[in-house]
Structure 1
């Protein structure tokens, strides 16, 4: 593989598993140093040991506002710069709204919306000063289609898509590209909350995507010429039936 990200530093939240881990693996293979951010210290340590010296662990609880605010300072302390932020950390709440725990709603909206906004807010001054940077946010197909079984989750992703589109227009003049990926169902732990019958149907019909396939799209977005922005990508299994 061409080392198209040689000399770059990336930070990925929710990086110890799933899409975040696959994204880290792809960026490392392309030559970047990658700061893997996650609150699961044991998983983070194991993953970074496997990935090698260019994988830099950063244990951080993004739901703790004080810890969240240390994201950029710790990245700079560990890696010296930041060229790419993949704001990937998120959680899932599915099912009928009347059955959802209100505390779970608060936690999910905080992580899926507030934390993403704060992370992007905090890294922008560094990127603006350097007149360059890439920000990619993991959104969801649910941001584009009113999925009946996930009203809370879908609402969080609709909100973050609006955020991505507006911030993109504010910062492109500084050489900063902002985009989002909107996968359909990916084989990750987030699917554990899916209704069992829906998960069974998806497995049997081949309607799930591998995390590595999402990472390939992220890498494609990052390696376009600087004058080109891949703004928003919806990624579906061919067999997925809307």
Structure 2
């Protein structure tokens, strides 16, 4: 399936865009014709990411864990790109392992980014989307949102919360021409896997049960390019060989 030109004239913003799923999504959105604002706190990585995409990429250095910076997302995207049609709320953190071993500060930081920041980003852009009578919001969730994964209770809980948020907000805003959906991949080859239990990661690699970030981005484009009368609310994608 080709998406070339399908998003021509649209502006997208992607959080956590300097690497992993965020970078793959930004690259795919640009290839489909969109101008893309890449949002990340890592200025050097963001510069490299934008250079790899080309003229369609606009960097926005923003620390979403800083409440004052977080609330300026829409304002700064509009100043950079002159509009906004698509938000991919992708930024997130991972904590795996036994809950008893987790650091409370790390739990706070992860829940803030994975849940609170997603809610605040969506809250931030909704008035703009409502005013223009159109908009698309994609949230990066996880297969962990659909299964009580025993080796990642804090992370899984954050993604269960995000899925509930997507489903409820969608019902509030579809009357305004706004679509809201979640992409829930199984384990993706990104830096987040560095925190997986070593034996679980080794097993997944040996079994070929990991997804490439570009494969997730292709599904994001599929969701965004459906006719306006159709919302893809949830996509759960996983390697064929993956077995929880």
Which deviates more from structure 2 when the two are superposed, residues 49-58 or residues 209-218? 49-58
Aligned to 2:134: 132
Aligned to 1:199: 201
The counterpart of 1:175, out of the listed 167, 174, 177, is: 177
Aligned to 2:29: 27
Offset of 1:183 from its aligned partner? 0.4
Can you list the C-alpha shifts for 1:31-76, whole angstroms capped at 9, x where unaligned?
Answer: 0000000000000011112211110000000000000011000000
Runs of 4+ in 1 over 6 A off after TM superposition: none
Q: Counterparts of 1:105-184 in structure 2 under 5 Å?
A: 105-184=107-186
Q: How far apart in 1 are the matches of 2:205 and 2:47?
A: 31
Q: Secondary structure of 2:139's partner?
A: strand
Which deviates more from structure 2 when the two are superposed, residues 15-24 or residues 1-10? 1-10
Aligned to 1:219: 221
Aligned to 1:98: 100
Q: How far apart in 2 are the matches of 1:148 and 1:45?
A: 37
Can you list the C-alpha shifts for 1:105-134, whole angstroms capped at 9, x where unaligned?
Answer: 000000000000000000000000000000
The counterpart of 1:70, out of the listed 63, 69, 72, is: 72
Q: Counterparts of 1:226-237 in structure 2 under 5 Å?
A: 226-237=228-239
TM-score (norm 2): 0.98
Q: Secondary structure of 2:21's partner?
A: helix
Aligned to 2:85: 83
Q: Counterparts of 1:1-80 in structure 2 under 5 Å?
A: 1=2, 2-80=4-82
Count of aligned pairs between the two proteins: 242
TM-score (norm 1): 0.99
Q: How far apart in 2 are the matches of 1:155 and 1:16?
A: 25
Can you list the C-alpha shifts for 1:185-220, whole angstroms capped at 9, x where unaligned?
Answer: 000000000000000000000000000000000000
Which deviates more from structure 2 when the two are superposed, residues 201-210 or residues 44-53? 44-53
Q: How far apart in 2 are the matches of 1:189 and 1:148?
A: 20
Q: How far apart in 2 are the matches of 1:197 and 1:42?
A: 32
Structure 2 portions without partners, runs of 5+: none
What RMSD over aligned residues (CA atoms) do the two structures have, in Å?
Answer: 0.6
Q: How far apart in 1 are the matches of 2:150 and 2:185?
A: 17
